[in-house]
């Protein structure tokens, strides 16, 4: 049996499959389909200081192999979140990764302060890359200095021992530069990636489909972009843990992210069609690792970066592809 335990910045999780922020609220709805404590962790929808109704409707559109969303950070605000959602996750025994979002460095710092000492809090994900904000100046992850300012404030306000992960945007020229700036500012790890900015136009109405005009593209359509980003960030910062996400639908998709350098993965958009996807992906990933002879998932992290002649585990059985055993 492959050991699935994974460690992110000193915190151990029982396995490397998490929900993705924004795709499962705070886990209650998914818990009707499977036991959310079976996952490595539950990453909650980004929360802001105040309640927020979000952008104009329509807020979602299907795209080829993907989905556009223009939610606009709808949420109950931090106080209601702490009382009803984080408290529920803690009671349930889930490991909560709380995603926070703000319009200023000060907002983020206050959110981090409010999370200090809360039961159930395993990690903080700093969402500096939401594409659906009022202006692009608020997409802190598009500028290394702006990203660093937020990360530094959150790291200072967060209890020691609680990892702070910065969530990066793919909509940049050099994602490794932003990653380096976040880590230099104190990020313990990186979540890679948020959605890509996109839009669709209704050719009958001859107007944008989304009320917010532009939206964030997710789903399998973005997976190669996400894998490339994980690869580049891991190549630049091989010792920094990565939570990888973007279009994961199967265990083999998850394995791609692990081989590119992710120590854990988030399963997002696919849950809208298949709410049990996270536990299925976990089982499939486990099987894929076992078939490839891995004793521990950590041995697969970043393996694709190694030269072809480097160590590969002995495969116990052929996995049904053309290459058969690598032994
Ligand atoms: O709420 C959203 O519209 C949203 C967020 Br916070 C995000 O980080 N990414 C996204 O695609 N949508």
What are 111-158's pLDDT values in tens digits? 999 999 999 999 999 999 999 988 877 899 999 999 999 999 999 999
Residue 182 a catalytic site member: no
* Separation CA 267–CA 91 (nearest Å): 23
Say which residue the tokens 């136009």 belong to.
201
Q: Which residue bears the tokens 């609220």?
A: 25
Q: Is 132 in the pocket of ligand 1 (CB under 6 A)?
A: yes
Best of 19, 132, 211 for a ligand 1 pocket test (most atoms within 8 Å of beta carbon): 132
- Residues 276 and 36: beta-carbon distance below 8 Å: no
Task: Give me the residue label for tokens 């192999």.
Answer: 65
State yes or no: pLDDT of 323 exceeds 60: no
Q: What is the average per-residue pLDDT within 35-56?
A: 98
Shortest-distance atom of ligand 1 to CA 74: 1
Contact call for residues 193 and 245 (beta carbons, < 8 A): yes
Q: Comparing C-alpha atoms, which of 61, 65, 69 is closest to residue 23?
A: 69
What average pLDDT does this structure show over 59-68?
97
- Pocket of ligand 1 contains residue 266 by CB under 6 Å: no
**What CA–CA distance (Å, rounded) separates 128 from 112?**
14
Pairing of strands 242-245, 201-202: unpaired
Please indicate whether residue 315 or residue 168 has the higher confidence score (pLDDT): 168
Distance 131 CA to ligand 1 centre (A): 6
Assess whether the C-beta atom of 69 lies below 6 angstroms from ligand 1.
yes
Length of the chain: 327
Percent of the chain with pLDDT over 70: 96
CA neighbours within 13 Å on the CB side: how many for 97? 34
Q: What is the pLDDT of residue 327?
A: 37
pTM, whole model, 2 decimals?
0.95
Indicate which residue's Cα is closest to atom 5 of ligand 1.
130
- Residue 322 in this model has a pLDDT that exceeds 80: no
* DSSP assignment of 165-183: EEEEPS-SS-HHHHHHHHH
Q: Is 269 in the pocket of ligand 1 (CB under 6 A)?
A: no
CB atoms within 10 A of CB 50: 10
Tell me if 8 CB under 6 Å of ligand 1. Answer: no
Give the helix, strand, coil percentages of the chain, each rounded to 5.
35, 20, 45
Atom of ligand 1 nearest to the CA of 70: 3
Asked if the model's pLDDT at residue 318 lies above 70, the reply is no
């Amino acid at each position: 049996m492959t050991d699935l335990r994974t460690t992110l910045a000193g915190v151990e999780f029982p396995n490397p499959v998490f929900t993705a922020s924004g795709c499962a609220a705070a886990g209650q709805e998914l818990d009707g389909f499977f036991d959310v404590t079976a996952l490595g962790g539950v990453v909650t929808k980004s929360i802001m200081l105040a309640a927020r109704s979000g952008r104009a409707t329509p807020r979602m559109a299907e795209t080829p192999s993907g989905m556009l969303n223009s939610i606009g950070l709808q949420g109950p605000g931090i106080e209601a979140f702490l009382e009803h959602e984080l408290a529920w996750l803690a009671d349930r025994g889930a490991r909560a990764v709380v995603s926070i979002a703000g319009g200023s460095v000060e907002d983020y710092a206050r959110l981090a302060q409010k999370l200090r000492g809360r039961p159930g809090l395993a990690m903080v994900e700093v969402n500096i890359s939401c594409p659906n904000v009022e202006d692009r100046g608020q997409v802190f992850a598009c500028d290394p200095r702006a990203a660093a300012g937020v990360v530094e404030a959150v790291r200072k306000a967060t209890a020691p021992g609680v990892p702070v992960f910065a969530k990066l945007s793919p909509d940049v020229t050099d994602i490794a530069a932003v990653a380096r700036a976040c880590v230099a500012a104190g990020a313990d790890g990186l979540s890679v990636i948020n959605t890509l900015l996109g839009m669709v136009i209704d050719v009958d109405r001859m107007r944008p489909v989304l009320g917010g005009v532009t939206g964030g593209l997710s789903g399998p359509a973005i997976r190669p972009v996400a894998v490339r980003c994980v690869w580049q960030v891991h190549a630049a910062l091989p010792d920094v843990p990565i939570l990888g996400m973007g279009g994961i639908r199967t265990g083999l998709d998850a394995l791609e992210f692990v081989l590119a350098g992710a120590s854990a993965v988030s399963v997002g958009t696919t849950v809208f069609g298949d709410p049990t996807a996270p536990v299925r992906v976990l089982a499939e990933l486990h099987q894929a690792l076992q078939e490839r002879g891995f004793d521990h998932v950590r041995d697969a992290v970043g393996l694709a970066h190694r030269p072809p002649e480097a160590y590969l585990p002995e495969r116990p059985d052929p996995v049904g592809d053309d290459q058969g055993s690598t032994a």
